[in-house]
Amino acid sequence: MSNAAHPDWGLEQIVSDLRASREELHRTRHPLGIRELPSRDAVINIVAGLRAALFPTHYGAPDLTDESVDYYVGHTLESTLRLLAEQIRRALRFLPENAGATDEALRTHAFAIARAFGKQLPAIRALLVSDIQAAFTGDPAAQHITEILLCYPGVWAMTHHRLAHALHRLGVPLLARFINEIAHSATGIDIHPGAQIGSSFFIDHGTGVVIGETAIIGERVRIYQTVTLGAKSFAADLDGTLVKGNARHPIVEDDVVIYAGATILGRVTIGRGSVIGGNVWLTHSVPPGSSVRQSKVREIERGDEDKLK
Q: What number of other Cβ atoms are within 10 A of residue 194's Cβ?
A: 20
Q: Kindly state whether residues 235 and 166 are assigned to the same domain.
A: no
Check: CB of residue 145 under 8 Å from CB of residue 132. Answer: yes
Check: CB of residue 39 under 8 Å from CB of residue 31. Answer: no
Its domain, for residue 259, covers 208-309
Report the alpha-carbon angle 154-46-145, nearest 5. 35
Q: Kindly state whether residues 46 and 175 are assigned to the same domain.
A: yes
Q: 307 vs 168, which has greater pLDDT?
A: 168
Backbone angles phi, psi at 203, to 5 degrees: -105, 110
Q: Kindly state whether residues 252 and 155 are assigned to the same domain.
A: no
Q: Indicate if the pLDDT at residue 234 is higher than 90.
A: no
Q: Indicate if the pLDDT at residue 79 is higher than 60.
A: yes
Q: Is 275 part of a structural domain of the chain?
A: yes
Distance CA 6, CA 83 (A): 44
Chosen domain end from 157, 189, 221: 189
Q: Is 24 part of a structural domain of the chain?
A: no
The mean of the pLDDT values for the chain is 90
Distance CA 193, CA 190 (A): 9
Taking alpha carbons only, the member of 93, 152, 160 closest to residue 124 is 160
pLDDT band at 242 (very low <50, low <70, confident <90, very high): low
List of residues 6+ apart from 84 with CB closer than 8 A? 46, 114, 117
Q: Is 22 part of a structural domain of the chain?
A: no
pLDDT for the residue numbered 308: 40
Chosen domain end from 162, 189, 216: 189
pLDDT for the residue numbered 233: 77
Distance CA 262, CA 282 (A): 8
Q: Indicate if the pLDDT at residue 77 is higher than 80.
A: yes
Q: Is 25 part of a structural domain of the chain?
A: no
Q: What's the CATH code of the domain at 304?
A: 2.160.10.10
If one counts the domains in the chain, the total is 2
Q: What's the CATH code of the domain at 172?
A: 1.10.3130.10
Q: Indicate if the pLDDT at residue 167 is higher than 80.
A: yes
Q: What value does the mean pLDDT take over residues 271-300?
A: 86
pLDDT for the residue numbered 217: 98
Q: What value does the mean pLDDT take over residues 148-177?
A: 97
Instruction: Name the pTM for this structure.
Output: 0.87
3-class DSSP state of 161: helix
Q: What number of other Cβ atoms are within 10 A of residue 25's Cβ?
A: 9
Distance CA 41, CA 287 (A): 45
List of residues 6+ apart from 239 with CB closer than 8 A? none
Q: Is 2 part of a structural domain of the chain?
A: no
pLDDT above 70: percentage of residues in the chain: 90
Q: Kindly state whether residues 180 and 214 are assigned to the same domain.
A: no
pLDDT for the residue numbered 33: 62
Q: Kindly state whether residues 127 and 261 are assigned to the same domain.
A: no
Q: Is 4 part of a structural domain of the chain?
A: no
